[in-house]
Amino acid sequence: MKLHILGIAGTFMGGVAALARELGHVVEGSDQAVYPPMSTQLETLGIGLKQGYAPGNISADCDVVVVGNALSRGNPAVEQVLDDGRAYTSGAEWLREQVLPGRDTLAVAGTHGKTTTTTLLAFLLEAAGREPGFLIGGVAGDFGVSARIGAGREFVVEADEYDTAFFDKRSKFVHYRPLVAILNNLEYDHADIFPDVAAIQRQFHHLVRTVPRRGRLVVNGEDARLAEVLAMGCWTPVETFGLDAAHAAGGRAFDWTARMIAADGSAFAVLHGGRELGEVHWPMLGRHNVMNALAAIAAAHAVGVDVAAVLPAFARFGGVRRRMEVVGAHAGITVYDDFAHHPTAIATTLEGLRLRVGDARIVVAMEPRSNSMRLGAHADALAPSLGLADVVVFLHRPELAWDAGKVVGALRGEGHAVPDVDTLVATLRGLARAGDHVVFMSNGGFDAAPRRFLDALRR
Closest CA to 57 of 94, 2, 6: 6
Burial class (CB in 10 A: 0-12, 13-18, 19+), 315: exposed
* Contact status, residue 240 vs residue 221, Cβ threshold 8 Å: yes
Q: Which of 189-198, 225-234, 260-269 has the lowest mean pLDDT?
A: 189-198
Q: Residue 420 pLDDT > 80, yes or no? A: yes
Tell me: do 246 and 118 sit in the same domain.
Answer: yes
Tell me: do 26 and 50 sit in the same domain.
Answer: yes
Tell me: do 239 and 340 sit in the same domain.
Answer: no
77, containing H or E segment: helix 76-84
Tell me: do 311 and 331 sit in the same domain.
Answer: no
Burial class (CB in 10 A: 0-12, 13-18, 19+), 258: buried
* pTM attached to this predicted model: 0.81
How confident is the model at residue 371, as a pLDDT? 54
Share of the chain above pLDDT 90, in %: 61
- HSE-CB of 354 using CA atoms within 13 angstroms: 14
The structural domain count of the chain equals 3
> Which of 91, 126, 156 represents a domain boundary (last residue)?
91
Q: What is the CATH number of the domain that holds 26?
A: 3.40.50.720
Burial class (CB in 10 A: 0-12, 13-18, 19+), 273: exposed
Q: Which of 117-121, 275-279, 294-298, 336-340 has the lowest mean pLDDT?
A: 336-340
Nearest-angstrom CA–CA distance, 75 and 56: 13
Confidence band (pLDDT; 50, 70, 90) for 413?
Answer: confident
Compute the average pLDDT of residues 145-152: 95
Tell me: do 67 and 174 sit in the same domain.
Answer: no
Q: What is the CATH number of the domain that holds 437?
A: 3.90.190.20
Nearest-angstrom CA–CA distance, 407 and 383: 5
Q: Residue 373 pLDDT > 70, yes or no? A: no
Nearest-angstrom CA–CA distance, 188 and 161: 11
Amino acid type, 452: R
Tell me: do 272 and 380 sit in the same domain.
Answer: no
- Name residues whose C-beta falls within 8 Å of residue 407's C-beta, 6 or more positions apart in sequence: 379, 382, 383, 394, 415
Tell me: do 134 and 69 sit in the same domain.
Answer: no
Closest CA to 393 of 352, 431, 359, 447: 431
Q: What is the CATH number of the domain that holds 290?
A: 3.40.1190.10
- At 140 the three-state DSSP class reads strand
> Which of 260, 288, 316 represents a domain boundary (last residue)?
316
Closest CA to 395 of 327, 357, 445, 352: 445
Q: Which residues of 333-346 are buried (b: 16+ CB within 10 A; e: fewer)?
A: bbbbbbbbbbbbbb
Tell me: do 289 and 414 sit in the same domain.
Answer: no
Domain hosting residue 437, numbered range = 325-458
Q: What is the pLDDT of residues 81-98, one digit of tens each?
A: 999 999 999 999 999 999
Closest CA to 238 of 224, 225, 227: 227
Share of the chain above pLDDT 70, in %: 93
Give the start-end residues of each E strand in 284-338.
325-330, 333-338
Nearest-angstrom CA–CA distance, 176 and 12: 14
Tell me: do 255 and 401 sit in the same domain.
Answer: no
Q: How remote is the C-alpha of 271 from its chain's centroid?
A: 26
Tell me: do 85 and 159 sit in the same domain.
Answer: no
Q: Give the DSSP per-residue string, 14-67.
A: HHHHHHHHHTT-EEEEEES---TTHHHHHHHTT-EEEES--GGGS-TT-SEEEE
Q: What is the pLDDT of residues 300-332, one digit of tens each?
A: 999 999 999 999 999 999 877 777 788 889 989
β-bridge mates for residue 90, sequence order = 67
Tell me: do 108 and 155 sit in the same domain.
Answer: yes
How confident is the model at residue 378, as a pLDDT? 57
Compute the average pLDDT of residues 237-244: 94
Q: What is the pLDDT of residues 390-410, one digit of tens each?
A: 988 988 877 676 676 777 777
> Which of 316, 343, 378 represents a domain boundary (last residue)?
316
Nearest-angstrom CA–CA distance, 53 and 81: 11
Compute the average pLDDT of residues 57-73: 95
Tell me: do 312 and 335 sit in the same domain.
Answer: no
How confident is the model at residue 277, as a pLDDT? 97
Burial class (CB in 10 A: 0-12, 13-18, 19+), 85: exposed
